[in-house]
Amino acid sequence: MCDITAVLTVDLLAQVLDWLHDSRDLKSCRLVSRAFLQAERMHRRAIRPLRLGPLPVLLRRYVGSLQSLDLSSCPSLDDSALSLSIPCPNNLLSVSLSRATGVTWRGLEVLASVCPRIEAIDISHCVGFGDREAAAVAKACWLKELRIDKCLNVTDVGLAKVAVGCSRLEKLGIKWCFEISEIGIDLLVKKCLELRELDISYLKVGNESLRSIASLSKLEDLALVGCEYIDDEGLYFLSNGNCSLQSIDISRCENVTSVGLTTLAEGQQRLRKINAGNCSPVLTSTFVSKLCTLGDTLIILKLDKLQLLASALEIVGKNCRNLLEIGLSKCNGVNDEGISWLVEGCTNLSTIDLTCCLLVTDKSLLSIAACCRGVKCLRLESCVLISEKGLDQIASCCMDLKEIDLTDCNVNDNALKCLSRCSELLVLKIGLCSGVSDIGLSFIGTNCSKLLELDLYRCTAITDDGLAAISNGCKRLKKLNLCYCNQISDTGLAHLQLEELSDLELRGMVRITSSGITAMAMGCRSLTQLDLKRCYSIDDAGMWALAQYTENLRQLTISYCTVTGLGLCHILGSLRCLQDVKMVHLSWVSIEGFELALRASCGKLKKVKLLGKLQDVLSSELLQTLQARGCRIRWVNKPLVFKG
Amino acid sequence: MKQIIGEPGIDLSSDSKMDLKLTRNSESFHKPNSSNHNLNSFNQASQYFPNLSPTNFLSRAENLQQNLKTKSTNSFEPNLNSGMATQNPPLDWDPHAMLSNLSFLEQKIHEVQSLVQSIIDQQAEFSSRPSELATRQQLATADLTCIIIQLISTAGSLLPSIKNTLLSNNPALRQLVNPDFNNNLKCEGLIRNFPETARNSEYEDLLRNLDNEADWMKEPNPPLQSDIVDANPIDEHDLKESDDGDAEREHLPPGSYIVLQLEKEEILAPHTHFCVICGKGFKRDANLRMHMRGHGDEYKTPAALAKPSKEPGSDVHPVTRYSCPFAGCKRNKEHKKFQPLKTILCVKNHYKRSHCDKSYTCSRCHAKKFSVIADLKTHEKHCGRDKWQCSCGTTFSRKDKLFGHVALFQGHTPALPMDEVKASGSGQGNDDMTEDLGGYNGNFASEECLTSMDVKGIDESRAYFSPMNFDGFGALDEFGRGGFDLEDNPFAFIPSGFSQRSGDS
């Protein structure tokens, strides 16, 4: 057998690898030969380890070329682990420490000092972080991209540190940093003149901030979701500012009305994306007519929960011919007539969101099928008037359809039969459709082999056979929701042999037991999230199986299971990736059991949900240790209620 | 004449007393005899001065006391036959009275001359006894004041009353001749049983002007006039509320308003009531109302003289704006881009802030200085509470100030609160404590200082009255009633601070 690298040089291999995105494909490639491994090593720029253990080996392998390191999935990451996991001479440009609650400012200072050229840091969702951490990050002076979303203790002072230290910032996310005020934003704008993307969603800042933000000449992307103190005056500042925005998200700004949107559309002529969902509900025709001026540039328009007339959609259809995505969820006035006018003009639409547009019928689907043949995503949740007739037309015309949401649409097996013609389908949601049975699923299983996500929430007619059809046909499934499908038993679960399945919800499936879980766990080894709430029959044996087979399990819900202290202790102790456990109402676990289990897990867990009564019973020293390691405990005071 | 001059010494506090005095004064004034009597008493008094042994001050004081007693007997005599007084025609220019006045002045000048001479002769001795020197100086000052007042009142009676109308159209001119004008007013007022408060205030003002010009003596505070001391902070707060007037720039076309320019002394005097026509300041509104009578008949009605009822806009004054007397100032009317000041309070604050020394230092930081007390008080409220610190060490009381600073300077960042915690953790706690205490002490000191300042303003004018009183321009009835109990305290005429010191020595 000749060396394959003789004909396929490393350069060529690298080019081939450019086209491989799936981690599983890359793994197969690595396993071909040493030469392939070498090529993969030289090609790789980013790693995302799931555990800290193998990290030193990995880093040694990739240290030269590695640019991006994502440590957000690593449990028990603290300062010392962080400083050990970053090789000293490196070319790292990007590090993600999202949800790394165990890290403190010292670790961040080390990070900033050992990665001199680092350009992107993500410390979002580290809820305990404050000004000191922000100050540590600010020492990375070449930073271009920073996410500190939901670092709840960051104030204006921290933001000022960042603004002064990282004057080259281009992208900044400070979503949910509630402590930041207009003063901080004002300073940020004065110091970081290169800003292109800014997310100040949910901040309590007012129009004055928008006045200063409007002076940022390079700003293109601005997110203002849920800024309740911003109103039309602020948008007026934006429309008259120096910036030429390409994208703006003003959804959930309750005080923004059509007047503000109109001035914005007048002033910012290069807008490509507008999200005005959930603003003040009445949308006047003046705004829609102003959209004409944006005309060709606009590609995304979201008007969720606004009251608009069919005539408005007509104007949009006539003028915004390049529109790719439209969001009309919960828009009361949307009807078939409006949709037909819209799609006649906007033939390039690929995403149409009609969630809760209760007036929409099959006629809309027919016009969509006729005009927008390239549609990829259709969200039709709660469009109760649609039937298999419309879906049949969609399935036959829109062969590119990748995602369809039919939750609560009362579709039946025939509809699924039609849809199964869309062989490219990746996401299918048919939750709450009690008319769907095993027959329908068998069509899907046979034809939609590329399916990644399937939602069968409360499809109570489904039995073990249906599940078997799915698991035999859709081998690439990553997400599966079987909540409350209470006819499925252990036999059905045993069919679930899905190697790539990462997210499985089995809530309220009262008939499954530990043996079913064991069989499932053996088949689905890459499971990271599992919900077993209210699976009353699952006991310690199930836990043992999970501990043994699903090594990557990160998030686990076992509330109401009949697990004892022993099982809990074992699973919390042995699962190395486990970070988030919800264990409310574990009536079989003693207080000592909880104590031991939590001690066994110590250092890994970031989030725990426990019964409120335990707060006084568990030793305070244990709770303090947990919190010191960055674990957040949510105490729940729900009564013990058995359902189903 | 004697009553006029003597009255500033009378206590201003009681209204009922004033009424009593008023009637008596007016009666006695119109009797030429009484002035002759007074003149005699002056002559008697003056005999003591040249013979005074300069070294023995106490003996002189005793003499003066005796002198006073004789005077009192003299001056009470004419009061007994008061019927004659009312029959005399008022305001007639009496050359005899004028002559006697002039001769009195002559004598008085001689007295002062000899007194000053004695000071010069014994300078060497005084160096060892500074308190005595001060006493002499005080006496000299009092005498000089007395002379000036006498001079002015004498001259005032010469001026024709039509001058009033001549001047009324020219504020600047009016300003120039202000003292005379006032004097004229006073004469008029006397004829009509002008309440003495008005006259008192004329003198107060006059004396204050003199005081400011010459910057004569600084006096320790006698425990007088607590009411005025209390009133003063309120006055300052009033000033504070109306700013320089910089904030709102009004656009009155030039010529649509009258420009008044007060003199520096007038501005710095602690007045709160100002004449809208000539800008003259008064400490009391009643005095102002009396003053207003001089501006025309419409101010002489009982309604105008009564306490102002709170009806705004009842009488319309021409739009008046003010000019700062500081040449070259933008608020000066000679300036090319003259911006007038809106009110007199604006003038006061502007002048103090822009053209005066910042004499009030913050007792906490010892760095910030102010020329307006209210500014200092505002600052002291916040001083020492700077919790916003920059990386350069500068501290700020407000976050937005800090951020403004950070925005201005390259590389400066706000300091983290934890830095402070660390710093104080490393053993600076005690220092902080002592600093705090220091702050308190300083605060006390400053408050003392402030009160003394407040008092001084009033006191400087007050200080002249006691000796003048003594020098006998009358108010003898006052003595009789025990306003000044000379029996008990022979030095009552000397400011109390001093009398104690001399008692010690």
Q: Would the CB atoms of B414 and A190 count as touching at under 8 Å?
A: no
For B171-219, what is each residue's pLDDT tens digit?
444 444 444 444 444 444 343 444 444 444 555 554 455 444 444 444 4
Q: Would the CB atoms of B416 and A132 count as touching at under 8 Å?
A: yes
What number is the average pLDDT over the span A393-412?
94
- CA dist A381 and A220 (Å) reads 32
- CA dist A95 and A120 (Å) reads 6
- CA dist A575 and B483 (Å) reads 100
Range with the poorest average pLDDT among B276-280, B329-333, B393-397, B446-450: B446-450
Q: Would the CB atoms of A183 and B406 count as touching at under 8 Å?
A: no
- CA dist A205 and A234 (Å) reads 10
Whose structure tokens read 């993600």? A96
**Chain A stretch 137-156, residues whose beta carbon is closer than 8 A to a beta carbon of chain B:** 138, 156
- Among partner residues A132, A156, A164, which is closest to B399 by beta-carbon distance? A156
Query: Confidence class of residue B290 from pLDDT cuts 50, 70 and 90?
Result: confident
For residue A144, the one-letter residue type is K
Q: Is A182 on the interface with B (CB under 8 A)?
A: no
pLDDT attached to residue A336: 94
Q: Would the CB atoms of B417 and A157 count as touching at under 8 Å?
A: yes
Query: Confidence class of residue A346 from pLDDT cuts 50, 70 and 90?
Result: very high
Res A198 pLDDT > 60? yes
Residues 6+ apart with CB under 8 A from B485: B492
For A261-279, what is each residue's pLDDT tens digit?
889 988 888 999 999 988 8
pLDDT attached to residue B57: 44
For A36-93, what is each residue's pLDDT tens digit?
888 888 888 888 888 888 888 888 888 778 899 999 988 888 898 888 888 878 889 9
Positive or negative, the CA dihedral A100, A104, A108, A113 is negative
Q: Would the CB atoms of B417 and A187 count as touching at under 8 Å?
A: no
pLDDT attached to residue B319: 79
- CA dist B414 and A251 (Å) reads 33
Range with the poorest average pLDDT among A24-28, B337-341, B426-430: B426-430
pLDDT attached to residue A492: 94
Q: Would the CB atoms of A157 and B400 count as touching at under 8 Å?
A: no
Q: Is A186 on the interface with B (CB under 8 A)?
A: yes
Distance from the Cα of residue B55 to its chain's centroid = 33
Q: Are B219 and B320 a contacting pair, CB within 8 Å?
A: no
Q: Would the CB atoms of B403 and A131 count as touching at under 8 Å?
A: no
Chain B partners within 8 Å of A164 (Cβ): 406, 411-413
Chain B partners within 8 Å of A186 (Cβ): 403, 407
For B2-30, what is each residue's pLDDT tens digit?
444 444 444 434 444 444 344 344 444 44
Q: Are A504 and A530 a contacting pair, CB within 8 Å?
A: yes
Query: Confidence class of residue A212 from pLDDT cuts 50, 70 and 90?
Result: very high
Q: Are A636 and A584 a contacting pair, CB within 8 Å?
A: yes
pLDDT attached to residue A357: 93
What number is the average pLDDT over the span B52-70?
46
Range with the poorest average pLDDT among A33-37, A231-235, A398-402: A33-37
What number is the average pLDDT over the span A205-229?
94
- CA dist B166 and A467 (Å) reads 114
| d(CA A184, nearest CA chain B) in Å | 8
Query: Confidence class of residue B431 from pLDDT cuts 50, 70 and 90?
Result: very low
pLDDT attached to residue B36: 42
Beta strands in A329-395 (DSSP E): 351-353, 377-379
Query: Confidence class of residue A476 from pLDDT cuts 50, 70 and 90?
Result: very high
pLDDT attached to residue B217: 43
For residue A213, the one-letter residue type is I
pLDDT attached to residue B317: 67
Q: Would the CB atoms of A160 and B414 count as touching at under 8 Å?
A: yes
pLDDT attached to residue B183: 43
Query: Confidence class of residue B502 from pLDDT cuts 50, 70 and 90?
Result: very low
Chain B partners within 8 Å of A191 (Cβ): 407
Distance from the Cα of residue B249 to its chain's centroid = 32
Res B485 pLDDT > 50? no
A141: nearest CA partner in chain B: B411
pLDDT attached to residue A55: 86
Res B500 pLDDT > 80? no
Whose structure tokens read 């949800």? A99
Query: Confidence class of residue A497 from pLDDT cuts 50, 70 and 90?
Result: very high
- Among partner residues A131, A138, A160, which is closest to B403 by beta-carbon distance? A160
Chain A partners within 8 Å of B418 (Cβ): 131-132
Q: Would the CB atoms of A191 and B418 count as touching at under 8 Å?
A: no
Cut 0.90: pTM above it: no
Percent of chain A scoring above 70 in pLDDT: 99
- CA dist A46 and A99 (Å) reads 19
- CA dist A143 and B101 (Å) reads 92
What number is the average pLDDT over the span B281-285?
78
A165: nearest CA partner in chain B: B411
Mutation target among A187, A188, A212 for the B interface, most CBs of B within 10 A: A187
CB pairs under 8 A between A and B: 38
Q: Is A188 on the interface with B (CB under 8 A)?
A: no
Range with the poorest average pLDDT among A33-47, A477-491, A557-571, B54-68: B54-68
| d(CA A85, nearest CA chain B) in Å | 28
Range with the poorest average pLDDT among A325-339, A529-543, B363-377, B421-435: B421-435
pLDDT attached to residue B95: 77
Q: Would the CB atoms of A187 and B418 count as touching at under 8 Å?
A: no
Chain A partners within 8 Å of B389 (Cβ): none
pLDDT attached to residue A2: 57
Percent of chain B scoring above 70 in pLDDT: 41
Query: Confidence class of residue A328 from pLDDT cuts 50, 70 and 90?
Result: very high
- Among partner residues B400, B411, B418, which is closest to A132 by beta-carbon distance? B418
Res A536 pLDDT > 60? yes
B388: nearest CA partner in chain A: A157
The tokens for B202 are 């004329």
Q: 3-state DSSP call for residue A454?
A: strand
Q: Are A450 and A426 a contacting pair, CB within 8 Å?
A: yes
The tokens for B307 are 């306490």
pLDDT attached to residue B443: 35
pLDDT attached to residue B14: 40
Q: Are A331 and A306 a contacting pair, CB within 8 Å?
A: yes
Chain B partners within 8 Å of A160 (Cβ): 403, 406, 413-414
pLDDT attached to residue B383: 73
Instruction: Answer yes or no: is the ipTM higher than 0.90.
Output: no
Positive or negative, the CA dihedral B290, B296, B302, B304 is negative
pLDDT attached to residue A491: 95
Q: Is A190 on the interface with B (CB under 8 A)?
A: yes
- CA dist A207 and A189 (Å) reads 14
Q: Would the CB atoms of A187 and B406 count as touching at under 8 Å?
A: yes
| d(CA A243, nearest CA chain B) in Å | 20
Q: Would the CB atoms of A184 and B403 count as touching at under 8 Å?
A: yes
Res A342 pLDDT > 90? yes
Q: Would the CB atoms of A161 and B413 count as touching at under 8 Å?
A: yes
Chain A partners within 8 Å of B392 (Cβ): none
CB atoms within 10 A of CB B393: 8
The tokens for A238 are 């934006």
Query: Confidence class of residue B351 from pLDDT cuts 50, 70 and 90?
Result: confident
The tokens for B243 are 């700013």
Longest dimension (CA), chain A: 74
Q: Would the CB atoms of B403 and A161 count as touching at under 8 Å?
A: no
Q: Would the CB atoms of A161 and B412 count as touching at under 8 Å?
A: no
Q: Are A398 and A369 a contacting pair, CB within 8 Å?
A: yes
- Among partner residues B406, B417, B418, which is closest to A160 by beta-carbon distance? B406
pLDDT attached to residue A44: 86
Res A468 pLDDT > 70? yes
Range with the poorest average pLDDT among A637-641, B264-268, B286-290, B371-375: B264-268
- Among partner residues A131, A132, A183, which is closest to B399 by beta-carbon distance? A183
pLDDT attached to residue B345: 80
Res B429 pLDDT > 70? no
Range with the poorest average pLDDT among A308-312, B347-351, B382-386: B382-386
Query: Confidence class of residue B352 from pLDDT cuts 50, 70 and 90?
Result: confident
pLDDT attached to residue B234: 37
**A449-472 b/e (C-beta count within 10 Å ≥ 16 → b):** eebbbbbbbbbbbbbbbbbbbbbe
